[in-house]
Amino acid sequence: MKAVFFDLDGTLLDTLPDIRNAMNYALRAYGGEMASLDDVRRYVGRGLHRALSEAVTEKNPKGLDENEFELMFSLLLSYYRKHPVVETLPYPGIPELLAMLKDKGSRLGVVSNKSDVLVQVIINTLLPDYFSFVAGEGKGFPLKPDPQLLLEGLREVGSSVDECIYVGDSEVDAETGKRAGVRTLIVSYGFRRAEDLMASGVEISANNVKELAEKLSSLL
């Protein structure tokens, strides 16, 4: 395998606390109830716009029309862009895993449904110098599970689909890898509980970063 590509949220980094803070900032401005970490865990996976839409449905800010929702989303993005890495951290063992993969000669990439501006800032702050390709929403490609962004990343690093492993933490990632035609590993330490993944028919490849490192080492 020449390339290993990763999802960002719930796979490389625990970003939930900072997403929650940004979402609650927007909800509070419109009189909504506050979202918990477990709430946000359920909302995320298909982009922040959809996540906020699900939060609005549950937390009931009053009198929102479409224009006000977009203003609310702008508030979320504004707050998040100013506070992208306050509580966010790599999962334990991730920097060591990336260093090991890079030492073995693998080209590494990140493909995310998070805004590309945020993805670039977060990666450059917490995990710089590991990746040959980093991209999020806003690059002109549809959101995952559409595979186009992943396939574009493979083209840029010079890898074919049969030379790549894709690692994620959700049903969306499992579907993305399937549509791209790449070998896919799904972890259960991230945003989706193991029982929810299995109930969706998703095969779990690793329950922690140590198991993921051992699995990847056996495939390289």
**DSSP H stretches of helix in the chain:** 16-29, 37-43, 48-59, 66-82, 94-103, 116-126, 148-157, 171-180, 194-199, 209-219
Is residue 130 located within the same domain as residue 48?
Answer: no
Is residue 113 located within the same domain as residue 146?
Answer: yes
Is residue 124 located within the same domain as residue 77?
Answer: no
Is residue 211 located within the same domain as residue 105?
Answer: yes
pLDDT at residue 220 in the model: 86
Distance of alpha carbon 65 from alpha carbon 149, whole angstroms? 32
- Per-residue pLDDT for 63 more than 90? no
Point out the residues that are catalytic: 7
User: What pTM was computed for the model?
Assistant: 0.92
For residue 120, the one-letter residue type is: Q
**DSSP result, 62-94:** TT--HHHHHHHHHHHHHHHHHSSSSS-EEPTTH
Domain count, the chain: 2
Q: Which domain holds residue 110?
A: 3-14+88-219
Is residue 77 located within the same domain as residue 139?
Answer: no
Is residue 123 located within the same domain as residue 29?
Answer: no
Mean pLDDT of 143-171: 96
CATH of the domain at 26: 1.10.150.240
pLDDT tens for 25-38 read 999 999 999 999 99
Distance of alpha carbon 169 from alpha carbon 89, whole angstroms? 16
Domain boundary (65, 82, 99) is at 82
Distance of alpha carbon 199 from alpha carbon 80, whole angstroms? 32
Distance of alpha carbon 163 from alpha carbon 146, whole angstroms? 19
Q: Is 34 helix (H, G, I), strand (E, B) or coil?
A: coil
pLDDT tens for 118-148 read 999 999 999 999 999 999 998 889 999 999 9
